[in-house]
Structure 1
């Protein structure tokens, strides 16, 4: 911490607040927070950046999850079941993170995101219709496998965009509206962050003194974003989703070919 200037610390805290807001509305806060940490800590090993990012993110995500569960029509039981599977997937992903070259995965993720973007733009009603009611056991099981184990593993392995993938998957599989999907995604994302953070903490790769002030700002951003999503509804969340997906594709493209 003694090597970080007051200006850098302030900028990192502001980035954490903005990331918390984005993550609460539609996911993808890591798109802003992780690059900010990489820029602000140029001489710190990547493992410490990833671990610190998780320690910050879990606070804002938890604040958003609490806000949503109080006011959104959330099926807590389903969310927790998916979340427990996601925690296991995230633990495994974080364990393998050191041995995987993320550059191999970026092009595949970009293709998936572009397909998602095209789908959302070509189907204006996607995620804006009211929820269809309780999901069948088959759909819930599919969500546990895909949104839980699959996306949880990705979150531990790489991370950015996890919340966005969760929202889209929950809308597609469980036929939720965008607000309910965002609320459910927050509960699941708390579990994935916890799973990865356990691994990083055990490895000693978390800068707790930096994570603490950033986490406070992330908490404020997360709570504010959740309230705004609840107030403005699915149409607002859909617009933010499109913006975040475009930004995520641009960021991944730059990392792959322009960095």
Structure 2
């Protein structure tokens, strides 16, 4: 990322560490910007997922940062936010632990594999597929107004099909989160709603457990490999903690209808963001 693209963002603060980690220049203004981005992303992620559409682009504006560093640093903020929001949900909403916990385990494995792929596979390979999937998910949600309003389980909760579907969802979304990331929470929410019949509120609670595991899995690879820019990661983490707490309480108070509306807005933003990036790469 060129210095000119992010120069205005750095004018607000004096450089704190010179060239920083791996050539990344860290300034006070940049830290404050990422703290604010982390707050908004944490709130959004706690409600319905998709905080990465705010947080990851903000990190990519940092001069000298590589895409892998941005992705790795994003995970530091995300795991802080999902820890707080998951704990808040679990105190008030009872997720299906027989599905969510094994799904989280497989999601962790998938995220480690995805993080490894992120270092070798071009991001452009994934964007067209992701765009089509998000458009389909958004249309599916819009055309089914009653979807997720209340739990309507597809299979008995103790059945093999119920568990296998949840586990496959966790693994696939885990790989995606390790490779790219934005929209992971949204994919988990709509997966639990559409494939398993959870309500949006139940899906958000279960999704937070799985999303926490995907963040941990990615960091298990990124941290030893030295890809995290820690000053920036701690800034977005602080914002995520506050945003995650506020977002979870908002979703619990306002219920599944509110979560569904936010999901549709987030899906639309994801479509616009990825569509614009894809178009820009072609032109």
Residue 139 (structure 1) aligned with residue 162 (structure 2): yes
Residue 96 (structure 1) aligned with residue 117 (structure 2): yes
Residue 239 (structure 1) aligned with residue 261 (structure 2): yes
Indicate if the aligned counterparts of 1:86 and 1:188 stay in contact, CA closer than 8 A.
yes
Question: Aligned partners of 1:63, 1:212: CA distance in 2, in Å?
Answer: 15
SS of the equivalent of 1:22 reads helix
Question: Aligned partners of 1:232, 1:136: CA distance in 2, in Å?
Answer: 31
Tell me the alpha carbon deviations over residues 83-106 of structure 1, each in whole angstroms, 9 at most, x when there is no partner: 000000000010111111121221
Indicate if the aligned counterparts of 1:177 and 1:234 stay in contact, CA closer than 8 A.
yes
Pairing of 1:106-145 with structure 2 (within 5 A)? 106-132=127-153, 134=157, 136-145=159-168
Indicate if the aligned counterparts of 2:98 and 2:163 stay in contact, CA closer than 8 A.
no
Shift of 1:204: 0.6
Indicate how the Cα distance of structure 1 residues 214 and 95 shifts in structure 2: closer, same or farther if over 3 A, else same: same
Find the counterpart in structure 1 of residue 72 from structure 2.
51
Indicate if the aligned counterparts of 2:99 and 2:166 stay in contact, CA closer than 8 A.
no
SS of the equivalent of 2:163 reads helix
Tell me the alpha carbon deviations over residues 102-146 of structure 1, each in whole angstroms, 9 at most, x when there is no partner: 21221111111111111111110011123547353212111201x
* Larger displacement relative to structure 2 (247-256 or 128-137): 128-137
Segments of structure 2 that go 5 or more residues without pairing to the other structure are 1-15, 18-24
Q: Please give the TM-score of this superposition, normalised by the length of structure 2.
A: 0.88
* Larger displacement relative to structure 2 (182-191 or 114-123): 114-123
Runs of 4+ with >4 A deviation: none
Shift of 1:72: 0.5
Indicate if the aligned counterparts of 2:49 and 2:189 stay in contact, CA closer than 8 A.
yes
Larger Rg: 2
Shift of 1:77: 3.6
Indicate if the aligned counterparts of 2:192 and 2:203 stay in contact, CA closer than 8 A.
yes
Indicate if the aligned counterparts of 1:90 and 1:154 stay in contact, CA closer than 8 A.
yes
Find the counterpart in structure 2 of residue 7 from structure 1.
29
SS of the equivalent of 1:205 reads coil
- Greater RCO, 1 or 2 (C-alpha within 8 Å, sep 6+): 1
Find the counterpart in structure 1 of residue 90 from structure 2.
69
Tell me the alpha carbon deviations over residues 166-220 of structure 1, each in whole angstroms, 9 at most, x when there is no partner: 0000111221000000000000000000000010011011112221232111101
* Larger displacement relative to structure 2 (218-227 or 70-79): 70-79
Segments of structure 1 that go 5 or more residues without pairing to the other structure are none
